[in-house]
Chains A and B, each alone.
Chain A
Amino acid sequence: MAEVIQILILGMALGGVYALMGSGLSLVFGVMRIVNLAHPVLIMAGAYVAYWAARLYGIDPLLTLPIAAVILAATGVILYKLVFEREARSAKYSEMTVLLTFALAMVLEGALGTAFTNTQRVTSPDYATDAFFIGDIFIPKGQLYAGIVSLAIISALALFLKYSRFGYAIRATTQNREAAELLGVNVNLVGLVSFAIGIGLAGAAGSLVSFVFSFFPAKHWEWIAVLMSLVVLGGMGSIFGTVLASFILAVVAAFIGAYFGATWSTLTFFVALFVVLLVRPQGIFGEKPELA
């Protein structure tokens, strides 16, 4: 029984980090219909901000988190203006963004590789290798802190979306862009700010990733399928769905890893992506796709 609880705790803690990694992706898709394949490489960029802040100035990655979020959000504004804004009203926008963001991911990976090489990195604050013990059960401090911070950020995002005026505008634009515009929402501004928030969340997630996982620029390819499986299972555009899917898949992956070996745990996400697309492509909370 203790073993099951142990696996459950480890899975839940990682699920919190996955949730933050996926929620920005989900927000950007929900509002702008951008399938952002560059999201994981932007998480890597956030991880590098935390890594170099720790390496050069000894700043804890948890303290670097807001800085990484702001730097990446500003990067998001630039990327949106340069790459995404022009065709935002195109009927084939989502399809176009798959190719656009794929190319963007390659460019950013190349830039990060050139700047920082493909050496594996990890930030090592003291808590990253420490744990709390409750009897025979241990809770790694790094994963626990990362999970708690992730949930705190997602809760703040949820409150912002639920109660603030701009949150109303974002939710309205997500659900019916044309209607939002007719009611006075500046949907272009909403698109820009949502994209910036989404990429800012990638930056925040990157700070946490920097001490939970080792990373290098090309690692983002591994994350794409993981994040896509979270977003697809949750329902494209549903942040709550993404959070739920993150916990479900992280826990399942933890159990598979524990009983069948770590190699198989990653397979959980690929299988989930495959099965969901076959059986329920709209995911748990997504809209049923319309037949063209």
Chain B
Amino acid sequence: MSGLLEVSNVVAGYGDGPAILDGANLSVQPGKVHCIIGPNGAGKSTLLKTIVGMLKIRQGSVTFKGASLKGKRPDQILRRGICFVPQERALFPKMTVRENLRMGGFSLADKSNLEKRIDEIEERFPILGERRDQHAGTMSGGQQQTLAMARTLILKPEIVMLDEPSLGLAPKIVKEVFSIMRLMADEGITILLVEQNAMMGLKHADWGVVLDLGRTLFEGPAAEVLTDPRIQELYLGGKKAA
């Protein structure tokens, strides 16, 4: 079955440097949470950056709803409904929370409903409403992550790609971040998650993808990936999933 987003034999890397992705494949099914795991340097973040147009596709193809994304700029890909929250959360530290949310709607052609949408986001995430006039750079890591994820909802995207949303956050905050992700998925948004904490990521995912040396090694239902002995041995330190 053809996925919402198809990555086929993609080769990509940074600038003129060596290829980090070396034949990566991925089939993203609508409405599911997909978690990409793999060791450091496997190409997980590179894959997301390639899909979103930040890195050039040297070989292979990326298609969204059957249309090629090859050669498209990030702003063009965003307008098709694919949002990306990178590891650094991509906030504007000296803009207020409200201004950051406004930037989330920058690419909207019709901005007549933007303020209303922002109001809705603030209602759903009260902490953002409470801190609307606060500079984003002065908020805690968890609040910043909430803002970064909530900001994607302004565009009502079809796919949200999250690159290590738990990075640098306390366990309690990580739970909140994953609950926001689940909330997004329950609304029908397809999630593509890269997570260094593989156990945590797979527990919250429907589908697991294992990447190593820029290639897709294995994929399947997240529960199966989580208990697969090869994966346990290779990437999860040989521990049994709880």
Q: Is the interface of A mostly helix, strand, loop or mixed?
A: helix
Question: Does B103 contact A183, Cβ atoms closer than 8 Å?
Answer: yes
Residues of the A chain whose Cβ atoms lie less than 8 Å from the Cβ of B93: 175-176
Cβ-neighbour of B106 out of A175, A178, A184 (below 8 A): A184
Question: Does A179 contact B91, Cβ atoms closer than 8 Å?
Answer: yes
A167-185 contacts to B, CB under 8 A, are 168-169, 171-172, 175-176, 178-185
Q: How far is the CA of A185 from the CA of B92 in the complex (A)?
A: 13
Question: Does B92 contact A184, Cβ atoms closer than 8 Å?
Answer: no
Question: Does A183 contact B104, Cβ atoms closer than 8 Å?
Answer: yes
Residues of the B chain whose Cβ atoms lie less than 8 Å from the Cβ of A176: 88, 90-93
Q: How far is the CA of A169 from the CA of B84 in the complex (A)?
A: 18
Q: How far is the CA of A184 from the CA of B94 in the complex (A)?
A: 19
Q: Is the interface of B mostly helix, strand, loop or mixed?
A: loop
Residues of the A chain whose Cβ atoms lie less than 8 Å from the Cβ of B95: 171-172, 175
Interface flag for A186 (CB, 8 Å): yes
Cβ-neighbour of B79 out of A168, A178, A184 (below 8 A): A184
Tell me the minimal C-beta distance from A237 to chain B in angstroms.
10
Tell me the minimal C-beta distance from B14 to chain A in angstroms.
10
Report, as a range, how many residues of chain B touch the other chain: 20 to 34
Known contacts: A168-B102, A168-B103, A168-B106. The answer to whether A184 contacts B78 by CB under 8 A is yes
Tell me the minimal C-beta distance from A287 to chain B in angstroms.
9
Interface flag for B60 (CB, 8 Å): no
Residues of the B chain whose Cβ atoms lie less than 8 Å from the Cβ of A168: 99, 102-103, 106
Nearest neighbor of B148 in chain A, beta-carbon distance: A179
Residues of the B chain whose Cβ atoms lie less than 8 Å from the Cβ of A169: 106
Residues of the A chain whose Cβ atoms lie less than 8 Å from the Cβ of B83: 182
Nearest neighbor of A90 in chain B, beta-carbon distance: B15
Cβ-neighbour of B78 out of A171, A172, A175, A182 (below 8 A): A182
Residues of the B chain whose Cβ atoms lie less than 8 Å from the Cβ of A171: 92, 94-95
Question: Could you give, for residues 251-279 of chain A, a 1 whenever the CB lies within 8 Å of some chain B CB and a 0 otherwise?
Answer: 00000000000000000000000000000
Interface flag for B120 (CB, 8 Å): no
Question: Does A175 contact B94, Cβ atoms closer than 8 Å?
Answer: yes
Question: Does A179 contact B78, Cβ atoms closer than 8 Å?
Answer: no
Taking A169-B106, A176-B93, A183-B75 as known contacts, 17 extra A-B pairs with beta carbons closer than 8 A to each other, sorted by chain A number, are A168-B102, A168-B103, A172-B106, A176-B88, A176-B91, A178-B54, A178-B88, A178-B90, A179-B86, A181-B73, A182-B78, A182-B83, A183-B90, A183-B103, A184-B74, A185-B75, A186-B73
Give chain A's interface residues, CB within 8 Å of chain B. 165, 168-169, 171-172, 175-176, 178-186
8 pairs, A vs B, C-beta closer than 8 Å: A168-B102, A168-B103, A168-B106, A169-B106, A176-B90, A180-B92, A183-B106, A184-B74
- Nearest 3 interchain pairs by C-beta: A184-B107, A179-B90, A184-B75
